[in-house]
Structure 1
Amino acid sequence: METLLLWAFYIFTFYAFLPGFISRTFGFRVFQKGNTSRQIALTFDDGPDEKYTPQLLDLLAKYGVKATFFVVGTHAEKHPEIIKRMHDEGHSIGIHNYVHKSNVLMRPGTVQKQIELTSRIIESATGKKPDFYRPPWGIVNLFDFSPKQMQIILWSSMFGDWRKSLGAEKLACRMMKRMRGGEVFLLHDCGQTFGADEEAPAQMLVALEQFLDAAYDKGFTCVRVDQMEGFKRKLPNMVPLYKRFLIILWLGWEKVFHVLARLDTLDTEEPIFHIRKRTYSGAPVDLRDGQRIVNGDTYVELHFDNRRLKEFSEQSRSSVHLAIQFIRAVEKALPYMASRLASDPKYRSAKAMLGISMIHRGSEHLGFDVKDMPDGLFARATKVYLRFLLSVLHPQGTKRIAGGKEKSRSNESLMPKMIWMSADVLKDKYDSDLSVPEQESGTQVHDRVVSLVGSRSDSLEKTSVL
């Protein structure tokens, strides 16, 4: 019995708990909040209801508001005329399963059948296939992230409006407190699901009208989810599911590591470095400006922001384009680093900066000294880690590491190195007043990147600073 319970715990953890935690915490493959100052998205679950949904549509029409409805297939099947009215009046319609049942309690194939059946019902009534999906209670399972699925929409604010005892005034008060740009409200236009009060939508309609009056007076606009400024569908790309899952786990661990290691984030608009103060122990290191780093010297340990590296990889059309983005970001950050070392008493005594990187050529242009890592367990473990990271993050990473006919040169280029820069070089090369350098054209940066890394085929090695 204990073994069965343990296996049940493991299955629940990996099938539902971890995917739900990851999607909520990191926004993986879900949309749950917009990035806008004056728009709020209204979403309604569990309908349509023959009594309350028409009243809701009348209210939305009165205020000229568009909303997003996540309908239950069995209800939509009974009231296709309401589904058609939603569509005809400009609202967006998504799927909330055929029956209101948690995905945790269903096999992946059963969930898919529920979605497909509800999709056909909506398409039959409107002539259009739905694009959006909201799992009941917002609980996703591992297979909801499948590329065959549609965009998952969650929410940023819910109010307990399925309970009649809450009352319209208290509900309206809760909604007023969340009147902020980018919020995705979760409300219910049907009280026939498990745990809900059948008459609760009547209270919701009263509270919603009060909210719409207040929102109008304060200059807010209520919109469909897909009309919200900055809305971007987080649909899956061609990266295999196992890679996406590894990336999420790795980014999650990196957050934990930053806390455990007490890293400081360099203050820039888009942070690219995380740093901490360290005391050097090892063989003396001679830098090109004459500085010598010996046991007991203080230095700054650099950690490249790997979330930014992931973003660069996703946005890059090629290895050269990725290197261009990296060079621009690092050059933009180094003046901030010089300012931090000059102004922060914690780092003022540092003689140098040190990072571990796969850079072989080109980093000297930025002022770094490249040194071989002392042979040992740490060097070998770092090599494995960085090669794994490159294979996961970059679309050509696995192919790059495999090497083909350039395997030997590729393996040599992917050896991690120590990247040093003395504090004096940082101060001399990068003014601490953060003055903006003259902007280079895309062609100039491209030519400089190619000249630094030697050729297009070698440029990928320039991008993996950690």
Structure 2
Amino acid sequence: MNTGLLMLWGYWDSIYQRCTRLRYVEKGNNIFRIVLLRYRGEPLITSDQRIINPGDLIVKLHIHNYYYATLCKGIKNDLRLALLLRRHIMLSLPKLAAYLERLERREEIKGIVGTTMLHKGVEPLGFSISDVPMTWFFRYKRWYLRLMLRIIHPEGKRRVQSWKQEMPLKRVYMSKDQLLGRYGSTIQSPTGEGL
């Protein structure tokens, strides 16, 4: 991506941030931005057998695309791009868990949920994956995410066209208990009491 386009995107991202309810987990040092909201969708069964039902309070995950684009600048290899994203997700999850632990409404939260085309390899990190219904909203989101990939990826249009079949839009999710158990700072004793 050229420097001028990245700079314009940075201005737009700043405006977008002010106009939405998205919150930074840790500005400039975390690949996630989040919003706290009520889940709307089909019931989700997580890998640790928790259920996220419609109406449950969730942390909605958003990849901070502009931040990721700045990290990708100058990288042209697909494998390096994928490894970079995975590394930053792994570094960001403990900070997300710490952020969630500090929220006033943390007891109400059932899990974290995101929608992405970049879902390959997330299951070993604790996420479950499911299809999304192709409503007008998800069709728009798929178009938007493809546009982002076209901008971020060095081979742009050609790469996104080749991803159409192998990179469908998916929902990725994890229960709050699993997030905190895997990435949180609170260690439970065998009796269930914090140490």
Which TM bucket (shorter chain)? 0.7 to 0.9
Counterpart of 2:113, as a letter, is L
Q: Does 1:266 align with 2:25?
A: yes
**Structure-to-structure mapping, 1:6-21, within 5 angstroms:** none
- Is contact 1:358-1:413 (8 Å) kept? no
Counterpart of 1:365, as a letter, is P
- Is contact 1:277-1:347 (8 Å) kept? no
- Is contact 1:357-1:419 (8 Å) kept? yes
Look up the match of 2:170. Answer: 417
Counterpart of 2:94, as a letter, is P
Look up the match of 2:43. Answer: 284
TM-score by length of 2: 0.85
More moved, 283-292 vs 367-376:
283-292
Could you tell me how far apart the structure 2 residues matched to 1:364 and 1:301 are?
Answer: 18
Identity fraction in percent: 29
Question: What SS class does the counterpart of residue 412 from structure 1 fall into?
Answer: coil
Give the root-mean-square deviation of aligned CA atoms. Answer: 2.2
Deviation of 1:402 (Å) = 3.0
Could you tell me how far apart the structure 2 residues matched to 1:315 and 1:425 are?
Answer: 35
- 1:133-165 CA-partner distances (Å, limit 9, x unpaired): xxxxxxxxxxxxxxxxxxxxxxxxxxxxxxxxx
- Is contact 1:280-1:294 (8 Å) kept? yes
Q: Does 1:363 align with 2:122?
A: yes
Look up the match of 1:305. Answer: 64
Counterpart of 2:51, as a letter, is R
Q: Show structure 1 runs of 5+ residues with no match.
A: 1-236, 404-409, 434-466
Distance 1:396 1:415, change over 3 A: same
Deviation of 1:307 (Å) = 2.2
Deviation of 1:431 (Å) = 3.2
Deviation of 1:268 (Å) = 6.7
Distance 1:283 1:317, change over 3 A: closer
Deviation of 1:375 (Å) = 1.7
Question: What SS class does the counterpart of residue 79 from structure 2 fall into?
Answer: helix
Deviation of 1:357 (Å) = 1.0
Question: What SS class does the counterpart of residue 345 from structure 1 fall into?
Answer: coil
Distance 1:281 1:296, change over 3 A: same
> Which structure has more helix as a fraction of its residues?
1
Q: Does 1:390 align with 2:143?
A: no
Q: Show structure 2 runs of 5+ residues with no match.
A: 187-195
Give the total of aligned pairs. 186
Q: Does 1:295 align with 2:54?
A: yes
Question: What SS class does the counterpart of residue 290 from structure 1 fall into?
Answer: coil
TM-score by length of 1: 0.37
Look up the match of 1:352. Answer: 111
Q: Does 1:320 align with 2:73?
A: no
Highest RCO, 1 vs 2 (Cα 8 Å, sep ≥ 6): 2
- Is contact 1:342-1:348 (8 Å) kept? no
- 1:313-345 CA-partner distances (Å, limit 9, x unpaired): 214241111122211111111111111212221
* Runs of 4+ with >3 A deviation: 247-251
Could you tell me how far apart the structure 1 residues matched to 2:117 and 2:29 are?
Answer: 22
Could you tell me how far apart the structure 2 residues matched to 1:323 and 1:280 are?
Answer: 29
Could you tell me how far apart the structure 2 residues matched to 1:268 and 1:289 are?
Answer: 30
Distance 1:268 1:425, change over 3 A: farther
Could you tell me how far apart the structure 2 residues matched to 1:373 and 1:251 are?
Answer: 29
Deviation of 1:249 (Å) = 4.4
- 1:238-276 CA-partner distances (Å, limit 9, x unpaired): x4x9xx54x544443332222222222113761221111
Look up the match of 1:456. Answer: none
Look up the match of 1:378. Answer: 137
